[in-house]
Amino acid sequence: MNVLLIGPPGSGKGTQGKRLADLLGIEHLATGDLLRAEVDAGTDLGREAEAIMASGELVPDDVILALVMPKVRAASAANGYLLDGFPRSVEQAREARRSAEEHDATPDAVVYLEVPRDELKRRILARAESEGRADDNEETVTNRLRVFDEATAPLVDYYRGRGLLHEIDADRSEDEVTESILAVLPKR
């Protein structure tokens, strides 16, 4: 099973992604984690992405596609994937779809996590404090939410139009959100 998990920063993609991947026996691919690993490793891609990430802007499509799509294809060929944080724009979605179709790695479902804006900010700032994430501060959070609204929110309509979208109220307990997601996924 191949699943995309989308939603604004702080909506619980990472938490739900790990839980669902474990429950479904598929690989969890989190683009934020993949990018941070590249930054920590000091790769060329990591250095390119670091300054962009620090400002809260989106990493360019070609960089993200080069990082993510080989992992998506490999996971799909195995047991499947749960991809969180990608794509972040309709153009990324179209490019990823073209690449995925060539390898029979397209998503079976897209889950959108909805959370009120005030709760998103509270969650992100709490996470920044507990995890020491320098890329999460008040200014960057506001910018990341603006970028999400401009670039990523149109994905909801894109995937709804393709008949893949499932909208989930993610302003509930982790267990309730997980149960709601599992209930909408295609049965194996």
Whether residue 120 is predicted with pLDDT greater than 90 in this model: the reply is yes
pLDDT confidence of residue 178: 98
Q: Has 144 been annotated as catalytic?
A: yes
Q: Using CA atoms, how far apart are residues 113 and 120, in angstroms rounded to an integer?
A: 11
Q: pLDDT tens across 73-98, in order? A: 999 999 999 999 889 889 999 999 99
The residue from 73, 97, 121, 133 that is catalytic is 133
Does pTM top 0.85 for this prediction?
yes
Q: Has 88 been annotated as catalytic?
A: yes
pLDDT confidence of residue 135: 65
- The domain spans of the chain are 2-178
Q: Mean pLDDT of all residues in the chain?
A: 91
Task: Output the CA–CA distances (angstroms, integers) from residue 78 to 1, 27, 38, 72, 74, in the order listed.
Answer: 10, 9, 24, 10, 6
Q: Residues 175-180: contacts with CB within 8 Å, 24+ apart?
A: 177/12, 177/16, 177/113, 178/16, 178/19, 178/20, 178/23
Q: Has 133 been annotated as catalytic?
A: yes
Q: Homologous superfamily of 2-178 in CATH?
A: P-loop containing nucleotide triphosphate hydrolases (3.40.50.300)
The residue from 73, 97, 121, 127 that is catalytic is 127
CB 106 within 8 A of CB 100: yes
Q: Has 122 been annotated as catalytic?
A: no
Phi and psi based region of residue 80 (left: phi greater than 0; alpha: psi -120 to 50; beta: remaining): left
pLDDT confidence of residue 61: 87
